[in-house]
Chains A and B, each alone.
Chain A
Amino acid sequence: MPRLRRNRGMTALIQAQGLTIQRPGGHETVLHGVDFRIASGEIVTVVGPNGSGKSSLVRALLGHMPLAAGRVARKPGLRIGYVPQRVLVDTTIPMTVRRFLSLPRRVGDRDAAQALARTGVEGVEARQLTQLSGGQFQRVLLARALLHDPELLVLDEPTQGLDQPGIVAFYKLIEEVRRQTGAAVLMVSHDLLVVMRASDRVICLNGHVCCEGTPQHVSSAPEYRALFGAEAEGTLALYRHHHDHDHDLHHHHHAGAH
């Protein structure tokens, strides 16, 4: 909560109003009337069922997709580090990690080594991309996104293909990166439970914004629970637990003071 309050007055990195996106060709509306804002240092997560327009929202915010209505304003010269969804790197291209980090902008060996060390994949420079495990590859992608000192990291389902411990470790890493670099983070995610804990603000999307706010607020919102059903119960339980835990602490404090 205090983090959120601190950000309220800050300038927006990206701000969008009344975003409406239609599927190319057809006249099917993917997103309708979405307002969005992310300020520096904030971790915002977009959750929603498959086909709810999460990736479309991210692409529109980045300017990769035409808008049917609404407008997007990005801070001039905003430096974005991007990890797109399902990066299927073409396996027919022989490519070492080191060479990959220099695409499309060349970086020095020291910067490359630092970025890899920061994301916990030190010394993989000479490895072929195809030889990396799923977790290593996501970390290399994150390292690449961290080059050139981004103000905003955009991660579209960054934990796809990772196992549960891998997912938890990856979100820990993202929080750490935010702490170290001060970069804002915009994520799209399926991992309700973990992502809720790692976010400042959650946007629940299903063609439009169903509900939005702190993880606590969203996880108890009826719209959210209607969308995610049983899985939502899990996150709610998480916060009940959190809350109880907090309460206990208070209690102990009181007890101690007495």
Chain B
Amino acid sequence: MLDDFFIRAMLAGLGIAAVAGPLGSFVVWRRMAYFGDATAHAAILGVAISLGFQISIYAGTLLVALAMAMAISALVSRGQAMDTMLGVLSHSALAVGLVAISFVPQARSDLSAYLFGDILAVGRADLALIWAGAAGVLALLAWRWQRLLTASLNEELAMAAGIDPRTERLVLSIALAIVVALSIRVVGSLLISAMLIVPAATARGLSRSPERMVGNAMLIAAAAVMAGLWASLRLDTPAGPSIVAAAAGIFMISQAFRRA
């Protein structure tokens, strides 16, 4: 069954959908959208480094995404104006990554695969890594769920309960870096944060508790993966953007129903 490229693509997409639900919810709750962007854009620099030094794409993007996430956390805790700083970092990371990647001849030809993903080229090894990584991130979030949720709701309340908000922020930064590295083949650097935010934003209006929102976001992301892949196959559209477009479509429909 795994011999079929389409089945592999679907399973890879569903693996990403499974982590995008909970992590995307935190991105929405903590208003980390730009943070996600900056970390994801840094992944392109990771790709350039991976190809240049001939190491695994996943290892390279993970390292650079982690470094970016840590750098942002450090700047934020020093009290820099957050949105401006993130805007600077996000687009600089992308630009520097694109420049760096131009020095790697073999990457020039399939640059768009790293920017927008190449889910149909996912192999068995990719699939195993995506699911192992997704399971790891889900376990991490489940383990610290109550603490993460309290710290996201209000840091003072968290501190009064003996929770260090900085630790929880670090946990989320690490989880985000892992998900960025896992998603680079599936939706690509430019669309990773869309995959995190759009399903969670859609679920927000449909949910009465944080747990339901996470569950709904997972379902919506999974539906977007299936619909996007189907469209990609039938209409010969690029898979990554089709998945995000499907998620956006579901978001629009949910908004229309909310009004009604």
Question: A residues near B, CB below 8 A?
Answer: 25, 62, 64, 80, 82, 84-85, 87-90, 92-96, 99-100, 103-106, 128, 154
Contacts and interface: CB of A to CB of B under 8 A. Distances in A.
Contacts of A100: 153
By secondary structure, the B interface counts as helix
Nearest to A129: B153
Contacts of B29: 90, 92-93
Contacts of B79: 25
Interface residues on B, range: 20 to 34
Contacts, number: 68
Contact of B209 (A87, A88, A99, A104): A99
Interface string B97-124: 0000000000000000000000000000
Interface in B131-172: 146-147, 149-150, 152-154, 156-161, 163
B146 A106 contact: yes
Interface string B202-222: 001001111011000000000
B91 interface: no
A183 to B, nearest CB: 15
Interface of B: 28-31, 79, 146-147, 149-150, 152-154, 156-161, 163, 204, 207-210, 212-213
Given A80-B160, A82-B160, A84-B157, A103 B209 contact: no
B210 A94 contact: yes
A237 to B, nearest CB: 36
B210 A93 contact: yes
A44 to B, nearest CB: 18
Task: Tell me the interface secondary structure of chain A in the complex.
Answer: loop
Nearest to A84: B156
Given A95-B210, A96-B208, A104-B150, 19 more contacts: A82-B156, A87-B156, A87-B157, A89-B154, A90-B30, A90-B152, A90-B154, A92-B29, A92-B31, A92-B204, A93-B149, A93-B213, A94-B209, A94-B213, A95-B153, A104-B146, A104-B149, A104-B163, A106-B146
